[in-house]
Structure 1
Amino acid sequence: MQPTNDQTQGLYRLCYRLTNVIYPGWPYKNVELVRLDQRTGNLYLLAEDDLDFEIKPTGGYEP
């Protein structure tokens, strides 16, 4: 199973936001893990120890 094009674009946007300080007061975060769940088709992203995101096949993500 491969991520959808929308998921790939959502992952790129999310990684850009996490690893670049684009908002004042939002510190840089390391992206630790990206994994595709074969059962649901969702991408999971773990950033540092306190942030995790789920990227749906439509490209939308939520913490």
Structure 2
Amino acid sequence: MNPTNDQTQGLYRLCYRLTNIIYPGWQYRSIELVRIDERTGRLYVLAGENLDFEIKPTGGYEP
């Protein structure tokens, strides 16, 4: 199963925000794992030691 175009764009935006300091309160986070759940079609991103995000097929993400 491949991610949707919207998921790919959402992943790019999330990775950019995690690895660049664009907000004063945010710190750089390393991205540890990106995985697609073939049952639900959602992407999962593990970042740093305690952040995880779920990217929906529409491209939106939530912690």
TM-score (norm 2): 0.98
CA distance in structure 1 between the partners assigned to 2:20 and 2:62 by the alignment: 19
Is there any run of 5+ residues in structure 2 with no aligned partner, and where? none
AA aligned opposite 1:53: F
Q: Which residue of 2 aligns with 1:12?
A: 12
TM-score (norm 1): 0.98
User: Which 4+ stretches in 1 moved above 4 angstroms?
Assistant: none
Q: Which residue of 2 aligns with 1:42?
A: 42
Q: Which residue of 1 aligns with 2:58?
A: 58
Aligned residue pairs, count: 63
Of 23-32 and 3-12, the range deviating more from structure 2: 23-32
Offset of 1:49 from its aligned partner?
Answer: 1.3
Offset of 1:48 from its aligned partner?
Answer: 1.0
1:2 aligns with 2:2: yes
Is there any run of 5+ residues in structure 1 with no aligned partner, and where? none
